[in-house]
Structure formats: C-alpha cells, structure tokens
Structure 1
Amino acid sequence: MQRTVPTTGGSVPVPSPDHRWTVLFFITEPGIGERLPELGGCTTGLCSARDAAAAFGRADARVLGVSAHAPGHLAEFAEGRALGYPLIGDEDLSLGRELGVPEVRAEGRTLFARAAVVLDRAGRVRSLIHPVPEAERHAELVLEELAALAASEALSHG
C-alpha cells in the first residue's frame, strides 16, 4: 500500500519513505467518551503516543493518528493537545478498510475501533494491534510490537 493522505499538517505519504516503520493510531472520535463512555480513551491513546515520541524516534517510526473525520475537524483537537504529529482525516474510511481496521457503529455513524497498524517501508501491514483495552497503554503496546518486529528481522537476517 502506498498513498498520500490529507492530514492536519498537510498531505503526507503513507508509509513514510524516511522511516523504517509507519505507525497509524486509529481512534473512534476525539472527545466521544464524553457522550459514549464505552468508546472513551481516544485522547488518552493519542496522548500516550505523544508522550512516547522519543521512544518512537529511537524505533525509527513515524507516528500518525487516524480518525473518520475531515482533517479540519481534527486540527483544533491536535493543536490543543500539542500532539506533535499529524492526524489523518479518513472521512470515507477507505484507508482503515484497506488496512483491515475494525469498525464500530456509534450515533448512527461508522467509526474506527481503537487500534494501531504498523507498516513497513514497502507499505506492508506488519501488525494490526486490536483490541486495545486500556487506552493509556496504546503507545506501550505498539512499542512492544515494534521491538518484537525488529528482533524478528534481526534473527532472520543474522
């Protein structure tokens, strides 16, 4: 898979040609937990990735958030949380569906379930992390998976 996607910071290529890994943090909707507590945790999950920015950098991973909304809808949220990485607006759900991300129905709309997808430089899905039962551990689970993928590659090349 190779495509250019609209984000809160302009269009970007997915996967990143400049990183070993591209990590896509899929969320339902920023702030939805205020209305539907069972879907809460989006902000917590995205902030966990922000707080682990140095670890993602060491893993040579580009971090992007993804939600089924227009980038403009997400821009204020991203700026207000100082995420430090762009959010992809996947309004038609095409990116998530191409990658096999689970979906949920809420308030009459189809949204993404909380998940993460790890892509390699060639755009191959190397891991789909779902479910993510604890939003505060979203980044931690992804970093564990990146370490396992790196170790597996080292064994197969060494």
Structure 2
Amino acid sequence: MTTTRLEPGDTAPDFTLQTDRDEPLSLADLRGRKVVLYAYPAAMTPGCTKQACDFRDNLASLKAAGYEIVGISPDSPAKLAQFRERDAITFPLVSDPDRAVLKAYGAFGEKQNYGRTVLGVIRSTFVIDEKGQIERALYNVKATGHVAKLRRDLGLD
C-alpha cells in the first residue's frame, strides 16, 4: 500500500471531524489563519502524550505567531476527551475513526515499528497557510523535540 504524500503548494484536504468536545471542526472554518495539523497514532501513549504536551506548552507562542494547532488521530471523541482532561490539552483534538482524512494527508500507511512493517498512523505534521495550501508536510517526525524543531523551521526561535 503506497501512500501519496502531500507537498508544499498542494491544497490541504478539507475535513469536518468530531472533536474531543464532540463538536464538529472543519478545516474550512480555520481559513484565514495558519494551521498546524499534526497526526499522531494514539491518545495517552507515551510518545503521543509527550508530543501533545509539547504543543500545549508552546501554544501561547504559536498562537501569538498566528498558528492554530489541531491534533488528529483515529481515537474516539470520548478517548480524546479523556486525553484532554488527563493532560490539560488546550487545543482541539479531532477523531478520524475510519482514517479517511489521515489517508488523504498521507499520514496513514506502511511504517516501521520495532523493525516490522505495519499499517498505522505515520506521525506527521502539516503547516497549512491562510488560503488552505500546504506550506510544509513533515512525515515520520519524532515525538520528542519535534515542536522545538518546528518552531525553528517556522522562524519562531
């Protein structure tokens, strides 16, 4: 199964998904703002918790620079709500249970996991500009240190 990856200049696939607050969130609703959409495999796992907490801890400065943060995973809205409560996540987490949006972004497919090839969510980050175009598409990012690297890449540090 080959996954089509997005490139800078591509139109970001639109979506409407349920959030951790069980409300719909559409990418179209965020037009006019820059969006960092990050895909992670599973709420409340160690790496995903580290990454979410990194985004949480950097949220004020990212928002000050004009970025909205949205996390996406196949988890149910109820599990995402638990994650939000447990770790004080202060940005929307959206649920993609059939993985259609993750696939559209090239963030679901074959990946290496402990030396085996498995199908799953590819930890990825997408920077989407105000017009809904992909500015950056980063695949196979590390959970630890990724937000600091992203901040440097965006010229925020």
Instruction: Give the TM bin, normalised by the shorter chain.
Output: 0.7 to 0.9
Pick one of 15, 25, 42 that aligns with 1:12.
25
Normalized against structure 1, the TM-score is what?
0.75
Pairwise CA distance, 1:47 = 0.5
State yes or no: 1:84 paired with 2:97. Answer: no
State yes or no: 1:66 paired with 2:79. Answer: no
Q: Match of 1:92, SS?
A: coil
Aligned twin of 1:2? 14
Query: 1:29, 1:42 within 8 Å by CA — same for their partners in 2?
Result: yes
Q: Distance in 2 between matches of 1:79 and 1:111?
A: 25
Q: Distance in 2 between matches of 1:2 and 1:113?
A: 19
Query: 1:105, 1:111 within 8 Å by CA — same for their partners in 2?
Result: no
Pick one of 93, 100, 103 that aligns with 1:94.
100
Higher relative contact order (CA 8 A, sep 6+): 2
The CA RMSD over aligned residues, in Å, is 2.2
Q: Distance in 1 between matches of 2:150 and 2:70?
A: 12
1:64-89 per-position Cα deviation (integer Å, ceiling 9, x unaligned): 11111221221111111111011110
Q: Match of 1:51, SS?
A: helix
Q: Which has the higher helix share?
A: 1
Aligned twin of 2:132? 123
Pick one of 129, 145, 151 that aligns with 1:137.
145
> How many residues align structurally?
137
Q: Distance in 2 between matches of 1:79 and 1:18?
A: 29
Pairwise CA distance, 1:18 = 4.8
Q: Distance in 1 between matches of 2:72 and 2:119?
A: 14
1:130-158 per-position Cα deviation (integer Å, ceiling 9, x unaligned): 2223x23121222233339xxxxxxxxxx
Q: Match of 1:41, SS?
A: helix
Pick one of 13, 30, 38 that aligns with 2:43.
30
Pairwise CA distance, 1:51 = 0.3
Structure 1 residue ranges, 4+ long, deviating more than 6 angstroms after superposition: none
71-80 vs 124-133, greater mean Cα deviation: 124-133
Q: Look up the equivalent residue of 2:31 and give its one-letter code.
A: P
Query: 1:99, 1:125 within 8 Å by CA — same for their partners in 2?
Result: no
Pairwise CA distance, 1:92 = 1.1
> Judging changes above 3 Å, is the alpha-carbon distance between structure 1 residues 4 and 61 closer, same or farther for their aligned structure 2 residues?
same
